[in-house]
Structure 1
Amino acid sequence: MHSFLRAPLALLALASLAPVLPAQAQQNTNPPGVPDTKTVGRPVQTAKDPWLYEKSDLVHDDAWKFGRLSNGVRYAVRKNGVPPGQVSVRVRMDVGSLMEQDSERGFAHLLEHLSFRGSVHVPDGESKRIWQRLGVTFGSDSNASTTFTATTYKLDLPMATPAGLDESFKILAGMMSGPEITQPILNSERPVVLAEQREQPGPQVRLRDAMLDLMFAGQPLAQRDPIGTVETLNGATPASVQAFHDRWYRPERATIIAIGDVDPALLEQMIVKHFSDWKGTGPAVPSPDFGKPVAGKPVSASIVEPALPVLTTITIVRPWTVDGDTVIFNQKRMIDLVAIRIINRRLETRARSGGTYIAAGADLSDLARSANITTVQVLPVGDDWEAALRDVRAVIADAQATPPTQAEIDREVAEIASSMQQRINTAPVDAGAKLADDLAEAVDINETVTTPEFSYAIFKGAVDGKMFTPATVLASSKTVFQGTATRAIVNLHAPDPAITTKVASALEANVAGAGKRKVLGNVSFAALPKLGLPGKVASREQILPGTGIEKLAFANGVTLLMRQDPSETGKVYVNVRFGGGLSSLPNKGATPAWAGEPALVASGVGKYGQEELDYLTGNRQIGADFDIDDDAFTLRAQTTKDDLSDQLKLLATKLSAPAWDPNPVNRAKAGILSGYAGLSASPDAVMSRDLERLLHNGDPRWGVPSKAVIEATTPASFRKFWEPLLATGPIEVEVFGDMDAEATVKAVAATFGALKPRVASMAPPVPFEFPAHVATPVTLTHTGQPNQAAAVIAWPTGGGTANGGITESRKLEVLAAIFRDRLLDQLRSQAGVSYSPQVASQWPLGLSTGGKIMALGMVPPDKVDFFFELSRKIAADLVAKPVDADELNRALTPLKQQILRMSSGNMFWMRLVEGGTYDPARIAAVETLAQDYSRVSPADVQGLAMKYLRPDKDWTVKVVPETK
C-alpha cells in the first residue's frame, strides 16, 4: 500500500527531522465508506492482472482501470477532474542507474535528456514547441527524473483535447521506442548534462557520496549516482548510448499511467494506438542483482566539509524484502511507525528544551530495492557531535529498554487516524498529477495503491485488534534498530586522525539510563488567555460578482475577506495580514527580524510553549506559519470547517498574548550559525544570501544578515523587537474554502473581532532604491568548486497598484516568459553552458517601487561574460522588433493555462485579493485578469521591452571562485 506511512530516505534533509507528521483534521471516528475492520482484505491475488495487485490482498482501487498490451506494456487509466481539463501522463521505464555497467555510468540520465530532444516522430527541439502551443510549461508540466531504479517521464497537459492527446501520446511513444541518438544531438545535449552535474553543490555531493560508500558498502548502490561521471559521459558515443537504450528500453519494462478530465476509454485508446507496435530489440535482459547489505565492512567514516554543519548520520541496514503488499505487512509497519514517532517526539522535546543538539530524528524506509534502512541524523549544538550523539542514543536506548505508556501510543495513533480520516475527506479533490505520481512511486517500490477508506480500514483493523500496545511498540523499538550492520559517518570542520575510532566507540558506548522522559500535564484551548467580547460587524458586502467573495469590517477595525466554496473538500485556508512587513522596519543598524520566521510561532502562546501547542493541536488540522512579506507580516494556516474556530482563536491569541520562550530563539540562532559557512560555499548559496540585499541597494532588511548580527541576537532583543510589532498595525483576515460563511463570521467576531482596536502606524514605508547601473559587474566570491560561477542581470521596473500597475505587471510576466524561453534555448540547448537559467518578473503590489526583470544563470567561470552578452543581445532584440505570433502564443498559452488551472482552487482567489481591504485596486484588478493576458500583443511586448530593458539601467553581479 503506497501512502504517507512509507517515507523515502532524504539524505542531508535536516528539515525532515521534524518529530511528527503534519497535523491533520479531527473528524468523526467512522468516516463514510470505511469497510468493516473485521472483514479487511481479500484473498491474495495470484493472477497477473490487474497487474498492480499480484501477491497482494489489498482491496483494489476500482477508480483505476489496469491493462496490459500484447507486447508487455502495462498501463493504468483513470478519470479525474482536478484541475478541470487537464490530463497527466507518466511513462515509467524500469531502468535507472543500477542497470548501468561501469562504463555506462550516467547513461540512464543522459538518455532521458536525449529522448526529449527528438525522436522518430518529431525533429530535434520540436516536441517542446508543440507542447508549448498546447499550454505546457517546459520544466514543470513536461519533465523527467532518473533514479537508481527508474526513469519517469512526466507530462501534465492542460485543457487536453483529443487532438492534443493524440499528438502527445505519439511524441511520448517515439521518445521511448526511437529517440534520435545522433552525434550532433549527443554533442548538443552532453554539455547540458555536464552542466547539471557541475551545478550541483559540491559539499553536499561529497558528503552524499561518502555516505553511500559507507552505508551500502558491497552493493552497487554505493557507486551508482544517477548523474554519472565526467569520464563516462564524455566517453559516450551514439553507438554506446543506443546499445544501452536497446538493452533496457523495452515494452515489457514500461508502465504508462494516464489520468485526467476525459473518458478513460479515450486514454486507453491512445495507449493502445501509439504503444502497441513497439517491439524490443534483441532478447530481453534480466535486471541485475542489486545485492544485499553485507557485514564485515567498515562501520564508521568521516568527511571534512567546513561548508556544512557538523552532522552525524547513523544507518542500520537490512535486506530489502518487499515481496507482497499485504494487510499484515502494512499493519506491522504501522507499529514500527508508531515506535519511530514516539522516539522522534522525545528527541524533539529534548532539542526544544535546549539540549546538546539542535535537531535529531529517525526514519524508516526502503531504498532502491536494495535495503531496508533505519536512519538517524543528529545536528549538534556547536561542534560537540559526541555529546549530541550520546544524548540521542540515550533516548533511543530508553525506548528499547522501557515500554512507552499507553497514553504516548494513543497520542500517535490518534494523530495517524486523524490524518487518514482527513485524507478520506480531501480525496475527491486530489489532483490527477498527484495520483499519477503516487501510482508511479508505488510501482517503483513494489507496492500497490488502494482507496483512502481501505487504508484507514487497515489501520483501524490494527487498532481494533489491539496491535498497538506497550509490548508491541517496545518490540518494534528494538527491531527497527537491529540489522545486518550499523554504520555511522560524521562531517567535521577540521581533520581528526582519531575520528574513526571515536565514531566506533560512540556507537558502542553504554548510554542506558540516560534518556529522561518528559510528561505533559493537561492542556486545552480553554486555558489559553481570554479574548474580549465578540466584536460587532460594522459592514458587510459582496464584492466581485460571481466569485462569492465577501468583505466585512468589524467595529474594532479588523477586516475580513471571505469565500465559502466547497470545491476543495475539507480544506479551509486562513491568512492573517498585519503590520507593514519589511518596508516598515528600520533600514539602519542590525535587528532580530531574521529570527521571526523560525522562532516567532515556536515561542508559544500564553502559558503554552511549542510542546504544549503540539499536544493541543496534534490530532487536529490546526497550525501556523509566519512569513514576512514586503508590505505585511503574515500568519498562515490550512484547517477544516470543524477546526476553524479554534484555529482562529490560536492565531488571534498569538497576537494578543504571545509567549516568549527563549529556547526557540537560541535554537534558531544555533541552527543558522551551524550552516553559515555553507552560504559562501557555492555561487547559488552566495546569491541566496546576498542577492536580494544587493537588488535593494544594500538595504539590510533584505537578504541573510551577517554572522555578527545573528550572534548578537538574544531572546531579550528578539522580544523587544517583535512584541510591539505583534501589537500594532491593522489586521486583515482572509478565510477561503470549505466552510460555513455565517459560522465563520461568528468565529472571526469571537477572536479577531474581540481584540482591542489597534493603532495603525502613521509613518510612511521606509524607502529603498534599486542599485544604479554599473559598467562592470559587481563581483562576489565563493569558496566552492572552481568550475562554478553565477551571473545575474536585472532591470528595474516598478511596483504598486496605481496607474494600472497590476495590468503592467501581468504583461511583464509575458515578456519574462519570452525572455526565459530564448535564454533557455540559446544558453542551454544551443550553447550547453547552463542547465536551468531563469528569468522572472517581480512587481511588489504593496510598494510603489522595487520591481525588476531578472535573468540568472549558473555558468562556468569563463562563460560569465558570455551570459551577459547573450542576455543583453536578447534584450536588445526584444527592443528592436516585435515577437512573431507563434512565439507570443507559445509564451502566452502556458501562462493562461496556469491561471485557468489555479483558478479552480481557493488559494488562487485569496492571493489575488489579499491586502484588498486597504488597497481596493487589488480587488478591482481581479475583473481585468483575463483580458490583461489575452490582449497582450507583439507591440505590447516590444513596448515594455523598450520601456524597461534599457542598457543604461541594467545592473549586473557575478559570483566567481575565490582566488587562493
Structure 2
Amino acid sequence: MTFLKRAAPACALIFSLLATTAIAQPAPSAEAQREWPQVDQERPWIYRGSDIPPDTEWTFGELSNGVRYAVRFNEVPQEQLSVRVRVDAGSLHEQDSERGFAHLIEHLVFRQSRYLKEGETIPRWQELGATFGSDTNAETTPTHTVYKLDVPGIDVAKADETFRLLSGMIEAPTLSESGVRTEVPIVLAERRERGGAGKRAADATRETYFAGMGLAERSPIGTVETLEAANQKSVRAFYKRWYRPENTVISVAGDLDPAVMVQLLEKHFGDWDAKGEPVPAPDFGAPTPGPDARAAAGALAPVDKLTVLHEPDLPVSISYTIMRPWEKVADTIVYNEGLLTDQLAMSIINRRLENKARAGGSFLAAQIGQDDVSRSADMTFVSITPLGNDWRAALADVRAVIADALTTPPSEAEITRELNEFENAFSIGVETQAVQQATDLADNVVQAVDIRETVAAPDTVLNVLRSMKGKVTPAIVQDHTRALFTGSVLRGVMNVPDVASGDEAAFRAAMLAPVEADASARLEDKQVSFADLPAIGTPGTVTSVAPIGVLEIETVKLSNGVNALVWQSDAEPGRVSVRVRFGEGYEAFGKDDAPYISLGEFALMGTGMGELSQDDLDQISNGRKMGLDFSIEDSEFVFGAETRAADLEDQLYLFAAKLSDPRWDANPVLRAKAALEMGYDSYATSPNGVMSRDLEQILRGGDPRFATPTPEELKKTDMAGFRKVWEPILASGPVQVEIFGDIQRDEALAALSRTFGALAPREEASADINLSKEPAPTSTPIVLTHRGDADQAAAVIGWPTGAGREGVRVSRQLEILAQIFNNRLFDAMRERLGASYAPNVGSRWPLDRKDGGMILAMAQLTPDAVPAFFEESRKIAADLAAAPPSGEEISRVTEPLRQLISRASSGNGFWLRELAGTANDPNRALAVRTILNDYSSTSPEAMQALAQAFLLNDKSFEVAIVPEGYKLP
C-alpha cells in the first residue's frame, strides 16, 4: 500500500485518492455494486506477506499458466471496461544491444498480431468506440510495459472481442522484419521530438544519479544505433525472453460481472504457453560511493558524483539526491505508518521552504521529496530554483532550513497542521470512493505491482492514518527526517549559464561547506478563522428561481443582480464544483497589458483578499477542501474550485471577498515576475517551446494581448501598474455563480445570499475594442526559429472557419471533419513517411466571438520534412472538398465521439462546461439538447460540404518553426 511519499508514476494508491477526475460519473446503485460473491481465497496474491486488509471489491486470481489478474465491478463511467495488461519488461531488462527494444515492441504490438492484420489495429478499436491515444494507449518505463484499453458501450460480446483481440496482441504479435523497418523511423521521430536542452539535462541527471547502475544507460527511448540495428530476429528474441505468462498481470475494472471477466480472461489468456525456461530478472544495481566520495562535517551521506551543466537557455537550477539501496519491503500497516511519518516530515520542511520563498528569499522555489525509483534506489530529492544567478546563496539557504529540521524537532502545531491536510485528503477519498473511475482503479493495481506493494480501500488508508496519529511525536518526526537524509551517497546536478558562473569544483565546495541551521522559516502558530472575518455586506435575497429545462438545474436571481446556476446532484457523492464568472475576459485589456495579463494569471489569487494574506489563506483552508483557481477566457474571467458541501459557504466567501475587498500584497507578484523572466529563454530550446510562446498570438491575428511577455517587458512592470490593470476588473462587470454537485439546495441558496448576494451593485465593465482577428492567408510560411537540436522542426497549417453560438451545430460537425482529416494525416505522415510521431488535427470555434474559428493541423518533424507536411495537408484538404469521405471513415470518428459524450454526460463536469454562462444567457441551454446528435450523426455529403466551405487552400496560413540558421526550401 502506498502513501503520499510516492511520486507518479510510482504511486498506486494515494495520488488516485487525491486526484480530481475530469469526467466523473454517477455512483452505482447498491444492487449494482454487489450482485455476486467475492471469490473465496485464502490470501490474494497481491497481499501475500502483508497484513493490509484486502480490498474486497477486487477479485484476485491466477491462471494455471501463471498469468495473474485483478478484476472488479465499477460503473464509473457506465458501460465502460478498463483493461490494463502489464508485462514485467522495461528498458532495464534490455541488453546493451537491445536498448529501446521494450518500447519498440510496444509500438509493434499495435501494428500487427494474431487477429489484426497490418494497419487494422487502430481502426478496429475505433469501431469498438475507443479513441486512439486516450482510450487505446501504452507506456514503457524502465521496469514494465503496460497496454491500456478503455472500451465504451461494453457488453459481454464486446468484452469477449476485446479480450480476444488483446490476447492476440500480447501473446502473438507478428514482429515482422517489415514491421520493424516501418516502426523504427516512427520511434526515432519520437526520440527526436524529445531532444534538445531539456533532454540533455534529463539524461545528465539520470546518468549522474544512477552512475554505475543499469538505469544510467537505460532510457526507454533507446539509442539511434541500437534501434537502427533492430531486426526481426533480435526483437523476437527480446519478446520471447520477457513476454511470458508469469511476467504478466491483467487488471480490469468496469461495468461487467467480475465472474464474466474471469471467464473471458481464462478463455483468451488461459492457453498462453511460453516456450523455454523463464529468465531471471537482471540485477538493477545499487548506489555505491565512488573513489572521490567525501562527507561534509555532520553530514548523513557522503557527497559523491556531481555534474554541472551549462545550458544558458534553461533556468539556473540545482537538484541533489540522497540515495539508499532499494529493498523489497513487507507492505504492512507498520511500514505504511512509517511512510506517512516520512511524508509528514517532508511536508513540514516543504512548508518552511515555501514560507521562505514567499518572504523573498534567495530562491524562487525549493522542495524535497522521496521516491523508490524503478526498483533501483530509495531516494530523497532536493530541488532548488535560485532567484537569479546566485546559486550559492540559494543552496546554502535551503540546506540551512533542512539542517534546522535535522537538529531540532518540529512543533506540535506543525505536526497537527500537516496531519489535518492528510486526514482531509484521505477523508475525501472515502467520501468520493463511489465515483472512483475504472481507469484509475485499473491503473492502481498496475502501479502497485510495479513497486511490489499492495492496494487498499480508501477506508483502510484513512484508518491507518488515524491509528498512527496518536503515536507521532516531534522526536519521532525528527528521527524520520534524519533517516530521509541518511544514505549511501549524495549526488547532484546543477545548471548555470556558463563556466564562469560555476563548475564542478565550486558545486562540490558548496555542498561540502558547513551549514548553520536556520529556524526563521518555521511558521507561526497563527490562528485564522472564518468566524473572525467581516461579513461581505448585508445579505441579499433570492428574487427568483426557475428551471432551465435541463435535468434539475435552476437559474437563481439575487436581489443585487448576481445570477446563479444551481444543481443539486448526487452523481458525484462528496463533490461540489464552483465557478464564478465575471467581467469581460480578454476584451477588458488594452493592447499594452500583456505583461500584467501573465502576472495576473500566476499571482492574482495569491495577492490575497481583505485581511487574508497568502499564508493566511493556507492556514484558514487547513484541513478543508477549497481552491482558488483563476483563468481568463475570451469574454469573462473565471474563479474555480472543487469543494464539498461542508466547505461551500466559506469557499463562496473567499471568491466574493476577492471581488469586494481585494488585497494587493506585492510578494506573489514579484515571485511570478521572477518566474516568468527566468523561464522565457527556455521557450527557445525546442520547436514545441516556440509554439507555446508565439503561436497563440499568430492565431489571434497578431493581437498583442496574447503575446508572451519578454523579460524586458516584465522588468518594466511594478505593483502600481498591476493594481491599475486588475483593480477595475475585479470591481466591474456582471457576476454569475455556478454550483453543481452534492449539496443541499436550500443551504446553498442561503450561502449564496450571505456571500455573493451581499456584494454591492457593480459597475458596468469597460471593454476595449476586440483586437483579435483571423490570421491572414500566407503565400509562404511564417518562419519562427528555435535554438534546439538541428534535426527538430514543427509545422502548423490552418484554415479559418467561423465563430459564434448561432453556429454551434456547424462547430460540432467541424470536429468530425477535423478528426477525419486527422486520421488521413496520421496515415500519410506517420505511416507512409515516418516523418512525425504524432501529427494532430483539431477544430476551434470560439462561442463568444464573431470570428477566430479554424481547423488546425500540426506536427513535429525534421526541418526537411516541413514542405512535405504542408503539401500533404493541402492535398488532404483538397481531397475532402473534391470527394466525400466514406461511411467507414465517418464511423471511425463518430462512434468514439458518441461514446465519449455518453460517458462524459453522466458527470457534473460535462454539464458545468456545456452550460457555462447560462445563468446570464438562458438560451445557451438550448444547444446542449442536440450535442450527442451533432457530434455523432452526419453524412458523407455534409462532410464534403463543410470541406468545400472551409478547407480552402487559398485562405490557409502556414507557420514553420525551424532551427536558427536553417533556410526553409
1:475-514 to 2 correspondences below 5 Å? 475-496=479-500, 499-514=503-518
Q: Residue 718 of structure 2 is aligned with which of 700, 711, 714?
A: 714
Kindly state the Cα deviation for residue 660 of structure 1 after the two structures are TM-superposed: 0.8
Partner of 1:55, secondary structure, is: coil
In structure 2, the residue matched to 1:134 is 128
1:871-950 to 2 correspondences below 5 Å? 871-950=873-952
Partner of 1:642, secondary structure, is: helix
Q: Return 175-184 or 294-303, whichever deviates more.
A: 294-303
Write out per-residue CA displacement over residues 375-412 of structure 1, whole angstroms, 9 at most, x where no aligned residue.
00000101111100100000000011111111110111
In structure 1, the residue matched to 2:32 is none
- Residues 1:374 and 2:380 aligned together: yes
1:3-402 to 2 correspondences below 5 Å? 3-8=3-8, 49-296=43-290, 298-402=304-408
Equivalent residues of 2:846, 2:852 under 8 A apart:
yes
Count of aligned residue pairs for this structure pair: 931
Equivalent residues of 1:54, 1:324 under 8 A apart:
no
Kindly state the Cα deviation for residue 5 of structure 1 after the two structures are TM-superposed: 4.3
Q: Return 160-169 or 278-287, whichever deviates more.
A: 160-169
Write out per-residue CA displacement over residues 673-705 of structure 1, whole angstroms, 9 at most, x where no aligned residue.
112111111101000000010111111111422
Q: Distance in 2 between matches of 1:737 and 1:23?
A: 14
- Residues 1:519 and 2:517 aligned together: no
Write out per-residue CA displacement over residues 521-559 of structure 1, whole angstroms, 9 at most, x where no aligned residue.
2211134343111112222100124x1110011121111
Q: Distance in 2 between matches of 1:518 and 1:462?
A: 24
Q: 2:466 is matched by which residue type in structure 1?
A: K
User: CA distance change for structure 1 residues 676 and 780 in 2, over 3 Å: closer, same or farther?
Assistant: same
Write out per-residue CA displacement over residues 10-37 of structure 1, whole angstroms, 9 at most, x where no aligned residue.
99xxxxxx9x98999xxxxxxxxxxxxx
Q: Distance in 2 between matches of 1:10 and 1:167?
A: 31
Q: 1:343 is matched by which residue type in structure 2?
A: I
Kindly state the Cα deviation for residue 456 of structure 1 after the two structures are TM-superposed: 1.2
Q: Return 502-511 or 282-291, whichever deviates more.
A: 502-511
Q: Distance in 1 between matches of 2:525 and 2:727?
A: 27
Q: Return 785-794 or 497-506, whichever deviates more.
A: 497-506
1:613-652 to 2 correspondences below 5 Å? 613-652=617-656
Partner of 2:645, secondary structure, is: coil
Equivalent residues of 2:729, 2:765 under 8 A apart:
no
- Residues 1:813 and 2:815 aligned together: yes
User: CA distance change for structure 1 residues 183 and 22 in 2, over 3 Å: closer, same or farther?
Assistant: closer
Q: Residue 681 of structure 2 is aligned with which of 677, 681, 686?
A: 677
In structure 1, the residue matched to 2:842 is 840
Q: 1:73 is matched by which residue type in structure 2?
A: V
Kindly state the Cα deviation for residue 733 of structure 1 after the two structures are TM-superposed: 0.5
Equivalent residues of 2:59, 2:71 under 8 A apart:
yes
In structure 2, the residue matched to 1:472 is 476
Write out per-residue CA displacement over residues 719-746 of structure 1, whole angstroms, 9 at most, x where no aligned residue.
1110110110100100001111111111
Q: Distance in 1 between matches of 2:827 and 2:844?
A: 22
Equivalent residues of 1:314, 1:376 under 8 A apart:
yes
Alignment gaps of 5+ in structure 2: 22-40, 292-303
In structure 1, the residue matched to 2:739 is 735
Q: Distance in 2 between matches of 1:122 and 1:394?
A: 60
Q: Distance in 1 between matches of 2:140 and 2:680?
A: 31
Q: 1:2 is matched by which residue type in structure 2?
A: T
Q: Distance in 2 between matches of 1:520 and 1:23?
A: 30
Q: Residue 853 of structure 2 is aligned with which of 834, 838, 851?
A: 851
Kindly state the Cα deviation for residue 296 of structure 1 after the two structures are TM-superposed: 1.9
User: CA distance change for structure 1 residues 497 and 695 in 2, over 3 Å: closer, same or farther?
Assistant: closer
Q: Distance in 2 between matches of 1:796 and 1:369?
A: 51
Q: Return 74-83 or 697-706, whichever deviates more.
A: 697-706
Kindly state the Cα deviation for residue 933 of structure 1 after the two structures are TM-superposed: 2.5
Partner of 1:400, secondary structure, is: helix
Partner of 1:945, secondary structure, is: helix
- Residues 1:602 and 2:602 aligned together: no
In structure 2, the residue matched to 1:799 is 803
Alignment gaps of 5+ in structure 1: 12-17, 25-46
In structure 1, the residue matched to 2:430 is 424
Q: Distance in 2 between matches of 1:870 and 1:527?
A: 65
In structure 2, the residue matched to 1:785 is 789
User: CA distance change for structure 1 residues 797 and 498 in 2, over 3 Å: closer, same or farther?
Assistant: closer
Report the TM-score, using the length of structure 1 for normalisation: 0.95
Q: Distance in 2 between matches of 1:649 and 1:72?
A: 57
Kindly state the Cα deviation for residue 588 of structure 1 after the two structures are TM-superposed: 4.7
Q: Return 650-659 or 455-464, whichever deviates more.
A: 455-464
Write out per-residue CA displacement over residues 343-398 of structure 1, whole angstroms, 9 at most, x where no aligned residue.
00000000011110000000011100110000000001011111001000000000
Write out per-residue CA displacement over residues 157-180 of structure 1, whole angstroms, 9 at most, x where no aligned residue.
011122221221111111111111
User: CA distance change for structure 1 residues 762 and 659 in 2, over 3 Å: closer, same or farther?
Assistant: closer
Kindly state the Cα deviation for residue 763 of structure 1 after the two structures are TM-superposed: 4.5
Q: Distance in 2 between matches of 1:388 and 1:613?
A: 26
Q: Distance in 1 between matches of 2:275 and 2:633?
A: 57
Kindly state the Cα deviation for residue 8 of structure 1 after the two structures are TM-superposed: 4.2
Equivalent residues of 2:894, 2:935 under 8 A apart:
yes
Partner of 2:371, secondary structure, is: strand
In structure 2, the residue matched to 1:865 is 867
Write out per-residue CA displacement over residues 890-922 of structure 1, whole angstroms, 9 at most, x where no aligned residue.
100101111111111101001111112333332
Kindly state the Cα deviation for residue 629 of structure 1 after the two structures are TM-superposed: 0.8
Q: Identity of paired residues, percent?
A: 47
Q: Distance in 2 between matches of 1:405 and 1:214?
A: 36
Equivalent residues of 1:23, 1:620 under 8 A apart:
no
Kindly state the Cα deviation for residue 201 of structure 1 after the two structures are TM-superposed: 4.0
User: CA distance change for structure 1 residues 22 and 404 in 2, over 3 Å: closer, same or farther?
Assistant: farther
Kindly state the Cα deviation for residue 152 of structure 1 after the two structures are TM-superposed: 0.3
Q: 2:779 is matched by which residue type in structure 1?
A: A
Partner of 1:259, secondary structure, is: strand
Kindly state the Cα deviation for residue 514 of structure 1 after the two structures are TM-superposed: 3.0
Q: Distance in 2 between matches of 1:295 and 1:23?
A: 42
Q: Distance in 1 between matches of 2:410 and 2:642?
A: 31
Q: Distance in 2 between matches of 1:563 and 1:21?
A: 24
Partner of 2:837, secondary structure, is: coil
Q: Distance in 2 between matches of 1:22 and 1:942?
A: 42
Equivalent residues of 2:101, 2:235 under 8 A apart:
yes
Kindly state the Cα deviation for residue 289 of structure 1 after the two structures are TM-superposed: 0.6
Q: 2:81 is matched by which residue type in structure 1?
A: V
Write out per-residue CA displacement over residues 490-529 of structure 1, whole angstroms, 9 at most, x where no aligned residue.
1111124962122222122222233412314221113434
Q: Distance in 2 between matches of 1:934 and 1:608?
A: 49
Kindly state the Cα deviation for residue 287 of structure 1 after the two structures are TM-superposed: 0.2
Q: Distance in 2 between matches of 1:596 and 1:341?
A: 28
Equivalent residues of 1:96, 1:148 under 8 A apart:
yes
In structure 2, the residue matched to 1:462 is 468
Q: 1:340 is matched by which residue type in structure 2?
A: M
Equivalent residues of 1:529, 1:653 under 8 A apart:
no
Q: Distance in 1 between matches of 2:271 and 2:143?
A: 25
Q: Distance in 2 between matches of 1:243 and 1:603?
A: 60
Q: 1:213 is matched by which residue type in structure 2?
A: E
Q: State the superposition RMSD in angstroms.
A: 1.9
Kindly state the Cα deviation for residue 584 of structure 1 after the two structures are TM-superposed: 2.7
Q: Distance in 2 between matches of 1:261 and 1:921?
A: 36
